[in-house]
Amino acid sequence: DLKMKLIYALATMALLALVVSPVDAATERKGDVYPLNVCAVSGEELGSMGDAIVHIGDDGKEVRFCCKGCVKKYTADPASFNEKVDAQILELQAKSYPLDTCVKSGKALDEDALSFVVGNRAMKTCCAKCKAAVEADPAAYIAKVDAALIAKGKDSYPLKTCIVSGGDMDAEKQVDVVVAGTHFTICCAKCEDKIKADPATYLSKLTEASK
């Protein structure tokens, strides 16, 4: 009857959706884009084997790979590879970290301060209790570090033209953003998406401009 045909049709549509939908489609990135220029598994330079593969895990962490084989290895043991990735992120972002106080409590950071990564971003807290609070609500604390990075970097930003478009920047339209733990001043909001798509390239350009 009509009711049974409708139920069958809906069930078929649901099954097809499961078959054709990519695994990552249901997962939104939490935190920042993957900031490294190497594969999270092999360590090979991204782009050396074709376009990098972007993967978002169940925890919302974005990682990138040089090939499909590395995706399979990562998903079999993400914790092990994330530990190595986070160590590289800490090293990459340590020099530019803008706060000398705990991002949660505001207390001065001393020799017992904790450095860790959440949402692909380096963070520092005064104690384990504050670390747990940051890990529970990373977006709020990433925003706090972003604001500090922009405030610290605006006056010393090395480029007068947009790093993406190459065009002159209008003081009234230019935008300050943070991508991959780095402050960029760009000509418009659209250029932010291009940096997020290939952060390693623009990080390299900015490093070169700062020399």
Helix or strand (DSSP H, E) at 65: strand 62-65
Closest CA to 66 of 89, 38, 29, 86: 38
Crossing angle for the helix pair 78-93 and 68-76, to the nearest 10 degrees: 110
Instruction: Give me the DSSP letters along 120-149.
Output: TEEEEESSHHHHHHHHHSHHHHHHHHHHHH
Grouping H, G, I as helix, E, B as strand and the rest as coil, residue 122 is strand
Residues 157, 170 contacting (CB under 8 angstroms): no
pLDDT at residue 21, as a whole number: 31
pLDDT at residue 93, as a whole number: 95
Higher pLDDT, 4 or 44: 44
Average pLDDT score over residue span 122-150 = 96
Average pLDDT score over residue span 173-200 = 95
pLDDT at residue 1, as a whole number: 55
pLDDT at residue 33, as a whole number: 96
Q: How confident is the model at residue 172 (pLDDT cuts 50, 70, 90)?
A: confident
Q: At 18, give phi and psi (nearest 5°).
A: -65, -35
Average pLDDT score over residue span 44-72 = 93
pLDDT at residue 15, as a whole number: 37
Q: How confident is the model at residue 4 (pLDDT cuts 50, 70, 90)?
A: low
Rounded to whole angstroms, the Cα distance separating 141 from 91 reads 19
pLDDT at residue 37, as a whole number: 94
Average pLDDT score over residue span 12-38 = 62
Closest CA to 120 of 196, 17, 21: 196
pLDDT at residue 24, as a whole number: 44
Average pLDDT score over residue span 67-96 = 95
Q: Return the number of other C-beta atoms located less than 10 Å from residue 78's C-beta.
A: 18
pLDDT at residue 13, as a whole number: 43
Q: Report residue 23 as tokens.
A: 């695994």
Chain centre distance of CA 167? 26
DSSP conformation class of 48: B
* Alpha carbon separation from 162 to 97, 113, 193 (Å, rounded): 23, 37, 13
pLDDT greater than 50 at residue 95: yes
pLDDT greater than 70 at residue 3: no
